[in-house]
Amino acid sequence: MENPQVKEILEKQVLTVAKAVEDKLDDEIAAFERLDTDDLEVLRERRLQQMKKMAEKRSHWIGLGHGDYYEIPNEKEFFSIVKASERVVCHFYRDNWPCKVMDKHLSILAKEHIETRFVKIHAEKSPYLAEKLRIVVLPTLALIKNAKVDDYVVGFDELGGTDGFSTEELEERLAKAQVIKFEGESSLNSSRSRGQTKRSVRQSSNADSSDSE
């Protein structure tokens, strides 16, 4: 027959061990929760720093003229721009319909890709640049990184061969050249808006076609 005193001692020992295990588990859970909170705080602080850095970059870019698509008045200004901005898309144009099509797409992309500077320059009024960069076909986009021409988009050959290409297609070509970035707010918002952009560019062709050569 089991001794009641022994049974009581054993039960107390089991309870003591169980309590010790429970206390240890509680301590580990508390430690984990503290660690998790600290990790979240570190991540939060890191994210805030990234957001602050990006805000500073955006402010700097806007100050340089990023976010708009505009014409460079002369060749001297071209060199100032490519030295000031890390990434530049420069449209060499003349007053014809194909260049007007390119203008419309670049105007959209300039607002969407604030990390890159979008400009245009009249090729016939910039003979030195046109010769130096071997600009023959218009429109031609010079894709410039770190003050050096890294790539070209010549005419519409890489964009389907017609003036009906979408803004998305041009965006993908520029991204391939790494002169723009797909991240955060930079890329176009949706395929729906891109479709609307494509239609609006093509629908406006009748109104502007009288200006083509």
Please state, in angstroms and as integers, the Cα–Cα distance from residue 4 to each residue in 11, 15, 65, 121, following that order.
Answer: 10, 16, 90, 101
Question: Is the bond preceding 139 in cis, omega lying within 30 degrees of 0?
Answer: yes
Interval 44-59: pLDDT, tens: 888 899 999 999 999 9
With beta carbons less than 8 A apart as the criterion, state whether 161 and 90 touch.
Answer: no
pLDDT at 29 (0 to 100) = 76
Q: How far apart are CA 77 and CA 64, in angstroms?
A: 12
pLDDT score for 30: 74
122: helix, coil or strand?
strand
- DSSP H helices, 85-190, are 97-112, 127-132, 167-176
Q: Specify the DSSP element, H or E, that contains 39.
A: helix 4-64
CATH number for the 65-183 domain, one of 2.60.120.10, 3.30.1450.10, 3.40.30.10, 3.30.565.10? 3.40.30.10
pLDDT score for 188: 57
pLDDT digits (tens, 9 = 90+) for 124-180: 999 999 999 999 999 999 999 999 999 999 999 999 999 999 999 999 999 999 999
Q: Is the pLDDT assigned to residue 206 strictly greater than 60?
A: no
Res 110 pLDDT > 70: yes
> Is the pLDDT score of 198 beyond 50?
no
**Quick one: average pLDDT of 74-99?**
97
